[in-house]
Structures are given as C-alpha cells and as structure tokens.
Amino acid sequence: MKYLSYSIKTIQPLVINEISSKAKTQRTLDYIPGSSMRGEFIRLLLKTKDAHRLNEVLDEVVFSNAYLKDCIPMPRSFQADKHKLRNNDVSKVINTLNFNFNEQVAKNKDEAAEQSDTEQNEALANKYPYLKLDQGVVAKQNVLCKVTKSTNRRISLNALGGADAQESTIFYTEAIDANHSFHGYIQFEESLSDVIKSVCKTFRYPSFGAAQNSGYGGCEISFSEITNEAPNNVEHANPNDELFIYCASDVISYNADGKCMAKIDAQLLEDRLGISGVKHCKSVLTQKTVSGYNKKMRASYPCETAIAAGSVFKYEYSGTLDSKRVLELEVMGVGKRRSEGFGKIIINPIFLTQEELLLAGIAPVSSEQRENASTASEQKGIAPTASELKGIASTASEQKENTQEGATK
C-alpha cells in the first residue's frame, strides 16, 4: 500500500455543511472530509488521459479526512473539570473509558467522591475538537486545539412581488476562517501511482464546500512524496485480554444482517483479528447523521446514522492479537464509504489505556487568524471575493486621501 500526504491551506473562509439541507442556519465541520477531496480529484481525473481508469480509482483509492497538523479528533471519553475548562485551565484529564471510580472510592473516599462526581466534569470534545500528538503520543505542549470560525448573516429579499414583496429571510452561515492548514493523505495500490501523480500535478488551487461563488471555499494544496507508511502513526499499547478501539473518523457500522449498530460488530473483530470471545464492555460515543452531495448528479446522498469521530470502545477477548492483522484492519477500516474517509479506526492506542492524563496547555490562536475572525464577524452580508477585497481596499485608500485633502484645505 502506498500513501501520499497533502496539506491544504484555506485562502478563503470554508463552509462544509454536515448535512445537505436548506436550513436557514448552517454549521460547518471542523475538518475537510475525504469525500470533498475525492470529488475534486475525480473531477480533475476526468480531464486527463487516464480518465478510463475511473473505476479503479473509485474502488481502490481511499481519501482520508484532513485534520489540523499532527492532530486527531478528541477522544470522547476525555473529561475535565468544567469550571477549569471554561477558564482554559486544563491540566488533568480523566479517561472515563478506563477510569474505575469504584477502586478510587476504596482507596480514598474523600478524594474519589470528588473525582467521581461526573456533574463537575465536561467532555473536552465539546470545546476542543482536536487532540495534538507528537510522535504517536499525546504532545507535551499545546495539546488542545480547535479551528477559529465566524458566522455571517445574509438577507434574502422576496422579489416575486404581490403580497409577499415585503417579506425577507435571514440566513446564518458558519465558516472556518482563512489561513488554517489541514493535513490528510491518499491511500492507494502501487499500480495506481502514475494516475495519482498525473492528477496531482494539476491540483493546485481547489475549491471545497458550499457557496463557492460567494467568496468561500478557495484553498491551496501541496503534496509530499509517496511513501510506504501511513502518516500520523499512533503508538500502540499491548493490554492483556482487553481491546480498546478509537474511531479516527466517522464510522457507518452495520452487522451481518444489515442492521445499523452503535458499536463495532464483535463478530467482525473476531473474523478480522483472529481472536475469539469478543465481548463489548463499555463505550463512550456520539451518534450523528451523515449525508453528502454529488455535484455531477446534482443530488444528495441518503442520510445515514454514523458513529462520530472520537468515539471509543472497550472489549474483552480470548486469544492472542497478531500485530499484522491489527495493522491490516486499521489500513482497511470498517463499515461503509471507506473510500471517502469513513471507517478509520485505531486499535489499542496508548492514550486510551491510561486512566488519567496530565496535559500542558492549549494551542494558541495566531494573530492572523484572530484578525480574520473579528473581521468576518463584523460582516453583515456575504463574504467578499478576492477581487472585491481589492476593490474595498482601493476605495478605502481613496477615501483616506480625500479626507486628508479636505483637512488640509
């Protein structure tokens, strides 16, 4: 298996709706989904001499989600004191998937009673969607990360005339600010290396998401060299008779009978890992509704229920884990729509086997991102395009010159 890493820098604000809808208020994702990258890649592929290999690309190439550099979705089992979290003072985190409150009560009643009060804790994922890693383990600095967003307001007037002529509708659109950098990778067989390279040569300034004609979605992309190892490898642990599974992306999970599941099928784990007696013990998860949009067909995908990225599971099993089988399962993924970035899991990541973690700080927001956020929040209409921004700048300079001349006279 071959891997090609890429970096996407947002030049304009980015709007990627979680569900294709006509709602008046739309929220954007915190990442660039693999389905967006896949759609743009296929559009460019059809313009090359390798267009006849489209079916190979659709079946064998996997496009991962693009997250902030060296970051993964925050595990949903990580909790911290809600009062400290509000003040951005997070130093101690409890992993509720592996934290045994009963044992703590037996050791120290007073201290454990304080720790076991779940009402005082809040999931980190509610405020910080990313956890930063350094060489496969939790980083020592700027651990908690998030993207900066802004909400723009747009007023649509009814131009039909008649009784509805005075009516108008207000739309609110949330967007990721410009100057963010997202990182992902393309996974493919060696036989498709030439096709991937030829398409990537024409891949420079793609546009992702909605409202591309209104000043949103403009990005710049750069590629690295093709490698044999998947990027952002996470260090694994070897717990005895326990299986910890972390969802690195949304997972659309079904069992053998076609029934939607809120966990990874135990029978699938037994078959793919060569173990027996797999039993689900505990999980901390969030379910969501996922969809998508096909520009070519001008139609939305059917809505499906998925396990949200960052969800974690704990199983018991009998037998011996084979590291090769574990790697194969992580590479292939589970569930549906794996070629679009769904179904990525990590087995026994070292950060899930710990009961408590000591963190060291929150990633600062750059001054450039903060300025973009404040500017965008003041906008009352649609975000301007690059040409409009130049016009605004020139108009402002002319007004300043006229003001200075008037003051001189």
Domain shared by 155 and 12, yes or no: yes
Identify the weakest region by mean pLDDT among 17-26, 94-103, 358-367, 378-387: 378-387
Per-residue pLDDT for 24 more than 80? no
Pair (223, 244) in one structural domain: no
**Which residues lie below 8 Å from residue 33, measured CB to CB, with a gap of 6+?**
16, 65, 66, 340, 341
Residue finishing a domain among 348, 375, 391: 348
Of the two residues 120 and 322, the one the predictor is more confident about is 322
d(CA 345, CA 332): 9
270 plus 198 within the same structural domain: no
Whether the CA torsion 273, 277, 283, 287 is positive or negative: it is positive
Predicted structure pTM score: 0.80
Q: Are residues 66 and 151 in the same domain?
A: yes
Is 100 a member of any domain? yes
Higher per-residue confidence, 395 vs 129: 129
Query: Whole-angstrom Cα distance, residue 31 to residue 16?
Result: 8
Answer yes or no: do 7 and 141 share one domain: yes
Could you tell me if 137 and 235 are in contact, meaning their C-beta atoms sit under 8 angstroms apart? yes
Q: Which residue has the higher pLDDT, 117 or 93?
A: 93
Are residues 117 and 204 located together in one domain of the fold? no
Domain span at residue 147?
A: 1-72+130-159+170-227
Quote the pLDDT of residue 273: 92
CA distance 91 to 103: 22
Half-sphere exposure of 16 (CA within 13 A, CB side): 25
| pLDDT of 401 over the 70 cut | no
Q: Give the pLDDT band (50/70/90) at residue 384.
A: very low
Percentage of the chain beyond pLDDT 90 is 30
Query: Do both 114 and 177 map to the same domain?
Result: no
Does 374 reside within a domain? no
Q: According to the model, what pLDDT value does residue 75 have?
A: 92
The answer on pLDDT for 406 being more than 90 is no
Name residues whose C-beta falls within 8 Å of residue 296's C-beta, 6 or more positions apart in sequence.
Answer: none
Tens digits of per-residue pLDDT, 255-305?
Answer: 888 888 889 999 999 999 999 999 999 999 999 988 877 766 677 778 888
DSSP line for 149-217: EEEEEEEEE--S-GGGTT-EEEEEEEEEPSS-EEEEEEEE-GGGHHHHHHHHTT-SS-B-SS-GGGT--
Q: H/E/C letters for each residue in 120-145?
A: HEEEHHHCCCEEEEECCEECCCCCEE
**Termini Cα distance of the chain:** 73
Residue 23 covered by a domain: yes
Q: Which of 120-124, 130-134, 352-356 has the lowest mean pLDDT?
A: 120-124
Residue of 19, 57, 53 whose CA lies nearest to 40: 57
Q: Enumerate residues 6+ apart whose C-beta is below 8 A from 306.
A: 250, 251, 252, 253, 287, 288, 289, 290, 342
- Residues 211-221: tens digit of each pLDDT: 788 888 899 99
Any domain includes 291? yes
47 and 137 belong to one structural domain: yes
Is 342 a residue whose pLDDT tops 90? yes
The string of pLDDT tens digits covering residues 231-241 is 767 888 888 88
Among the listed ranges 3-7, 95-99, 183-187, 356-360, which one has the minimum average pLDDT value?
Answer: 356-360
Provide the 8-state DSSP code for 303: P
Give SS3 for 51.
Answer: helix
Same domain (yes/no): 52, 136: yes
Same-domain check for residues 333 and 247: yes
Count of H helices and E strands in the chain? Answer: 10, 24
Q: Is residue 272 part of a domain?
A: yes
- Of residues 37 and 118, more confidently modeled: 37
135 assigned to some structural domain: yes
Q: What is the pLDDT of residue 388?
A: 43
Residue 248 pLDDT > 90 = yes
Condensed to tens digits (0 to 9), the pLDDT of residues 50-78 reads 889 888 888 899 999 999 988 999 999 98
More confident: 27 or 14: 14
Please report whether residue 359 resides in a domain: no
Final residue of a structural domain among 328, 348, 368:
348
Look at residue 282 and tell me if it is in a domain: yes
| Cβ–Cβ < 8 Å for 358, 91 | yes
Q: Please tell me what DSSP assigns to residue 307.
A: E
Q: Give the pLDDT of residue 19.
A: 66
Are residues 248 and 289 located together in one domain of the fold? yes
Structural domain tally of the chain? 3
pLDDT classification of 119: cutoffs 50, 70, 90: low
| Cβ proximity of 338 and 76 under 8 Å | no
Tokens of 376: 């965008």
Q: How far is C-alpha 30 from the geometric centre of its chain's CA atoms?
A: 5
Q: What is the rounded (10 degree) CA torsion for 81, 306, 247, 115?
A: 20
For residues 61 and 178, state if they share a domain.
yes
Q: Which has more pLDDT, 401 or 17?
A: 17
E strand or H helix at 2, and its extent? Answer: strand 2-10
Residue 352 DSSP symbol: G
pLDDT score recorded for residue 185: 94
- CATH classification of the domain holding 327: 2.60.40.4350
Confidence of residue 182 (pLDDT cuts 50, 70, 90): very high
